[in-house]
Amino acid sequence: GSAQGSGAMGGSASLIPRDLLGEYQELTFLSKQEILLAYKRFSELLPKEERENACSTRVPKSQILTLPELRANPFQQRICHVFSTSETEDDSMSFEDFLDMLSVFSDSATSDIKSYYAFRIFDFDNDGILDRKDLEQLVNCLTGQGEGSRLSSEEMEQLIQNILEESDIDKDGTINLAEFQHVVSRSPDF
């Protein structure tokens, strides 16, 4: 779903350069109003002195994770990692990365692009396929951090077995992007 602003309408922040706004609107699934809103939210994450050139500054991961939409999300680390284009691998996000993220999560994004990014988010070791370790980590993320809520190892084994039975078409013990997209495109809830 869309990670839009939760009604935090600040005062008049400086706008994005006009030509860029048009281009962003063309390249993402967001409307201009949504892009401006995103800009506001993004610039609020920066300290006051850096807000003027929010377009070119990078926000550290810790700041991004304070957004309410990401705060409660079990995949927050992965999301930051996937969308970040930082060369120093510190998972900091620029405004364009932020827009990329919002665009993929918006309602009007196609199922293909959503499933592509979902695959990358679930791929914890970044090797391009979902193997057993990835699936285990995925389940642990979904069941939360509490002690009582984790699955026992037999249950985990059973679960992963079932999943691989359902989704692994070429029976190589891993799920690749195409298989993932095949499974997920049939789902009514995706």
Q: Which of residues 81-140 bind other proteins (CB under 8 A)?
A: 85, 96-97, 99-100, 103, 105, 110, 112-113, 116-118, 122, 128, 135, 138-139
One character per residue 137-176, x = contact with other proteins (rule: CB under 8 A): -xx--xxxxx--xxx---x--xx--xx--xx-xx-----x
Q: Closest separation between CB of residue 49 and other proteins, Å? A: 23
Q: Of the candidates 29, 51, 60, 86, which one interacts with other proteins according to CB under 8 A?
A: 29
Strands (E), the chain: 58-59, 93-94
Shorter beta-carbon distance to other proteins: residue 46 or 103: 103
Q: Residues 33 to 72: which contact other proteins by CB under 8 A?
A: 33, 36-37, 68-69, 71-72
Q: Coil, strand or helix: which one is 84?
A: coil
Q: Of the candidates 63, 73, 86, 137, which one interacts with other proteins according to CB under 8 A?
A: 73
Q: 135 exposed, middle or buried (CB, 10 Å; 0-12, 13-18, 19+)?
A: buried
Q: How far is residue 161 CA from its own chain's centroid?
A: 27
Cα dihedral 15→93→66→140 (10° resolution): 150
Shorter beta-carbon distance to other proteins: residue 50 or 86: 86
For the chain, helix (H) and strand (E) counts, in that order, are 10, 2
Q: Closest separation between CB of residue 155 and other proteins, Å? A: 6
Among 37, 166, 181, which residue's Cα sits nearest to residue 110? 181
What angle (nearest 5°) sits at the alpha carbon of residue 108, between those of residues 86 and 101?
15
Q: Closest separation between CB of residue 80 and other proteins, Å? A: 14
Q: How many residues bind other proteins (CB under 8 A)?
A: 81
183 sits near other proteins (criterion: CB under 8 A): yes
